Amino acid sequence: MKQGTVLLIGRPNVGKSTLVNNIIGQKVAITSPKPQTTRFPIQAIYKEKRGAIIFTDTPGIFNKVKDTLAKRINKQAYNAITDETDIVLYLIDPTRKRDFEEAKVLGIVRKINKPKILVVTKADKEPKYIAQYKFLEDEFQHVYRVSGLKRKHIKPLLDKIFELLPEKKKQKIHIPNNLPFPALNVDSNIFISELIREKIFLMMGEEIPYTTTVVVHEMKERDNGVLYIRAEILTTDNRYKKMLIGKNARKIKEIGSYARKEIALATGKKVYLDLTVKTNSHWQEIYA
């Protein structure tokens, strides 16, 4: 049986979470078109007759870090690179220009002494800047072009991963209890808070998502079978709080409605979401 850990690394918004979600076959990591969506490494397990793979989806690595949150995100990404990694997937996005951020990630990848696969993402889009990345094809023995969103060419990539993974006589992957399988390292509260935060990223303007986080304070199934969730959106300034609530509470109702539907789909239960907004200028120091 083949078994091991695969690390995904790349700059922000390169498509790591989308690829993991579509390999696993269900959502384990939130996605949005904005960078900094993923804030901490998420591990998820893929199992089939050939064996089992733990995919580690890392936050995108920033070239410049200006605040506490960005610094912690970079640190979390670096910490995910461990000796336990068996294969590294280095993801690049040919729809965006190469820059110093990309060079920084490549420098990190070059220092990792593990089998590596170059994954060219977003194959469903025009690769405007593919010429800037061509030199990498000479550096990496294995190169695959995929679309995580459209599930294009994922099977050949998986075939290569299984080919490179070590053989294990016994299954050594331990699945903790009370976690939302196939996610391995996030509990239910974090999983729900991430689903809510995703809706903020998708529905709010450019600046607001980076000033917010979501904390689930209570989650329990009531006697009538409804899953009751009490959660709080924390933001750094009262002006952001007003924007998150919206006129006549319209915006917070929209965020709550879309989040409730997503949570219901993920849990298979009817959901009552009690969602509020609070200003806490220090939340990055506490919850980041």
Tens digit of pLDDT for each residue in 165-182? 988 766 555 544 444 445
- Report the pLDDT averaged over residues 49-58: 86
pLDDT band at residue 215, thresholds of 50, 70 and 90? very high
Specify the DSSP element, H or E, that contains 269. none
Residues 147 and 227 in one domain: no
Residues 155 and 196 in one domain: no
In a domain, 93, yes or no: yes
In a domain, 97, yes or no: yes
Measured CA to CA, the distance from residue 288 to residue 286 in angstroms comes to: 6
Q: Tell me what pLDDT residue 66 has.
A: 53
Residues 31 and 104 in one domain: yes
Residues 26 and 116 in one domain: yes
Residues 157 and 211 in one domain: no
CA angle 161, 164, 168 (to 5 degrees): 105
Residues 23 and 58 in one domain: yes
In 101-243, at which residue ranges do the beta strands (DSSP E only) sit? 116-120, 142-145, 212-221, 227-235
- Report the pLDDT averaged over residues 54-61: 75
| All residues at 6 or more sequence positions from 240 whose CB lies less than 8 Å from its CB, including other chains | 207, 208, 211, 212, 279
In a domain, 143, yes or no: yes
pTM over 0.85: no
Cis status of the peptide bond prior to 182, with omega within 30 of 0: yes
Measured CA to CA, the distance from residue 210 to residue 230 in angstroms comes to: 22
Residues 246 and 199 in one domain: yes
| Count of structural domains, the chain | 2
Measured CA to CA, the distance from residue 11 to residue 101 in angstroms comes to: 7
Domain that holds residue 48: 2-164
